[in-house]
Structure 1
Amino acid sequence: MKNFRKNVHLVFYRAIVINEAAYGRTFGVGDNITREQLIVMLYNYASKFKKINCSFSPYALDKFSDKNSVSSYAQDAMEWAVTNDIISGKATNSGTKLDPLGNTTRAECAQMIKNFVKKFGK
């Protein structure tokens, strides 16, 4: 468990640094982070730092009722994350939603980072 926590901290820290360097986007220490912002950081970390092939299905978001809510800057990252099982939807009365603009809970953040580490390593 100690190594997993260390890997999660390392992945998250590197993702923030890559995101800031690549796009000039910064997140304040006390700011909330949306689900799509977290995915963009992981995507940037994977593609720019780890040099992972970040291919994805352009139809990955089609199964989500709120697919049109994904911000344009996050489109590729979200498709990549769904294709690679890093993020999944939330079941609602109106269908399965990604909730890209919703704030990420601690549990969701931990799960997404765990899925990333399991799939791609630290």
Structure 2
Amino acid sequence: MEDHRLPKFVLYGELTIGCRKRGALKKRYKDSLEQHRSLGHIDCHQWSTLASSRDSWKHTIHDAAASFENARRVSHREKRQGRKNHSLPISPKETFHCAFCDWTCLSCIGLLSHQHACSKRG
């Protein structure tokens, strides 16, 4: 395909908008497609044959999106559970306890912030 053709320009050209890490290579549209394909667990050798059949491609994309969304929800739930457990380190130097509830803080400023919010609630 010639260089001036639109499909080649889109797939191999550099994105002009967006952000990237400092010193990172400029991202192409093809790179973002590759990243999304790998997140959906679609085999790189299989996608061209799947795309030839509209029904199989639609089914594969639907399954990949559902799988990705479930993994995102599980990850979000695990992160939230980790934040809510609020486990203390093994040997804390000093802990501070809230006067309004049974909350334990590791810093004085954290305790003051918590007590301010806690006093407004009750």
What TM-score do you get using the length of structure 1 for normalisation?
A: 0.25
What TM-score do you get using the length of structure 2 for normalisation?
A: 0.25
Higher RCO, Cα 8 Å, sep 6+: 1
**Which structure: larger Rg?**
2
